[in-house]
Amino acid sequence: MLQFSAQQIALMIQGTIEGDASVMVRNFGKIEEAQAGDISFLANPKYEDFLYTTKASIIIINAGLVLKTPIAATLIRVPDAYAAFATLLTQYQSLKSQQLVGIQQPSFIASSASLGENIYVAAFAHIGEQVVIGNNVKIHPSVVIGNNVTIGNDVILHPGVIVYSDCVIGNHVTIHSNSIIGSDGFGFAPTQDGSYQKVPQLGNVVIEDHVEIGSNTTIDRATIGSTHIRKGVKLDNLIQVAHNVEIGENTVIAAQCGVSGSTKIGKGVMMGGQAGIIGHLNVADGVKIAARSGITKTIKKANSVVSGFPASDQVNDLRSQVNVKNLPNLEKRVKELEILVQQLSQKG
């Protein structure tokens, strides 16, 4: 188990120590549950009361936080406690990952495959013909890598990941359990007798650097050409990305979203859970799509915010929701007006 002193941690996150710099920690803990030997953090003021009762040995806090009472734990002050804690977790995970080296048995590695340095291949993994894998790659149990796949450096493929043939994965990519990269796109041509003829899917998937893909996500290969996941994209669990889609740099998509074929999503787009985009559309850079929205038309305005189904400008959509809620009252008022008009007509 890895252990670190407050001094070592402060160097990692460029923080200032208040208290015992030699105190050691070996686990992470939530501030309300942490025990001696744990490190925790406080970023949300909602949890500040726990700062004075926690048993954690080290706590990362914001530089400007004024203490109400003295604290026994060693404090590390940083400009942004949440970001610093995330950095610390990342470095800890990296150190743990570096301990995984070697090839376990039983596993299959084709003789024509090329593997880099510091590789970890777990038992029951399968690596096909002409595969090229870079350095520091971690391949966990039951991963299947098809023929002619290229994988860069510092890639982690968690248990059950399947990468179909001819796909390309860049550097510093993490793909979580049971995700599938490069399965066939949903292409079927109707025939005269009412049946469907499968359209062969001859393309691939290209995933650029610093991408993370959640569990049980599927990215289909292109019919011709490539399905592109650009640099820095983050995909949650349970997402469907169809054939020939392009997702721009640093776009984030939450769970249960679906992107239909040949849609092009710009840079820095944020897509809430259960939202969907129909095929052959374009979404401009920086667009924010609210959860459960349905995108049925191209969005040309960069940095806009849309919601609803069919999706529209969020301000207009919210007004529409208010009006819908008022419909029962409006109906009642209309009926009252109809009665009043009828009474006035009878008097006339």
Question: pLDDT tens digit string along 46-96?
Answer: 999 999 999 999 999 999 999 999 999 999 999 999 999 999 998 888 887
DSSP codes of every residue in 253-273: E-TT-EE-TT-EE-TT-EE-T
DSSP codes of every residue in 206-219: EE-TT-EE-TT-EE
- Among the candidates 38, 69, 98, a domain finishes at 98
Q: How far apart are CA 232 and CA 224, in angstroms?
A: 24
Q: Which pLDDT value is given to residue 348?
A: 61
Among residues 140, 158, 228, 243, which one is catalytic?
243
pTM: 0.81
Diameter of the chain measured on Cα atoms:
99
Please list the pLDDT of the chain residue by residue as tens digits (348 residues): 578 999 999 999 999 999 999 999 999 999 999 999 999 999 999 999 999 999 999 999 999 999 999 999 999 999 999 999 999 998 888 887 777 889 999 999 999 999 999 999 999 999 999 999 999 999 999 999 999 999 999 999 999 999 999 999 999 999 999 999 999 999 999 999 999 999 999 999 999 999 999 999 999 999 999 999 999 999 999 999 999 999 999 999 999 999 999 999 999 999 999 999 999 999 999 999 999 999 999 999 999 999 998 888 866 767 777 667 877 888 888 888 888 888 888 876
Residue 211 and residue 76 share a domain:
no
Residue 186 and residue 277 share a domain:
yes
Identify the CATH number of the domain in which residue 206 sits: 2.160.10.10
Assigned token pair, 86? 């995330």
Q: How far apart are CA 254 and CA 259, in angstroms?
A: 12
108, β-bridge pairs:
126
Residue 73 and residue 192 share a domain:
no
Residue 121 and residue 177 share a domain:
yes
Residue 341 and residue 283 share a domain:
no
Residue 206 and residue 78 share a domain:
no
Q: How far apart are CA 131 and CA 221, in angstroms?
A: 17
Residue 52 DSSP SS3:
helix
Residue 323 and residue 256 share a domain:
no
Q: Which pLDDT value is given to residue 315?
A: 67
Identify the CATH number of the domain in which residue 24 sits: 3.40.1390.10
Q: Which pLDDT value is given to residue 211?
A: 98
Compute the residue count for the chain. 348
Full residue range of the structural domain in which residue 181 is found: 102-317
The number of folded domains in the chain is 3
Determine phi and psi for 336, rounding to 5 degrees. Answer: -65, -40
Q: Which pLDDT value is given to residue 94?
A: 80
Residue 223 and residue 259 share a domain:
yes
- Among the candidates 98, 123, 156, a domain finishes at 98
Residue 141 and residue 84 share a domain:
no
- Output DSSP code: residue 50: G
Q: Which pLDDT value is given to residue 245?
A: 98
Residue 107 and residue 214 share a domain:
yes
Determine phi and psi for 45, rounding to 5 degrees. Answer: -55, -20
Q: How far apart are CA 151 and CA 173, in angstroms?
A: 9
CA 190 to centroid of chain Cα atoms: 35
Q: Which pLDDT value is given to residue 340?
A: 83
120, β-bridge pairs:
102, 138
Please say if 126 is a catalytic residue.
no
Single out the residue of 163, 151, 167 nearest to residue 119, CA to CA. Answer: 151
- Among the candidates 47, 73, 98, a domain finishes at 98
Residue 197 and residue 128 share a domain:
yes
Residue 83 and residue 231 share a domain:
no
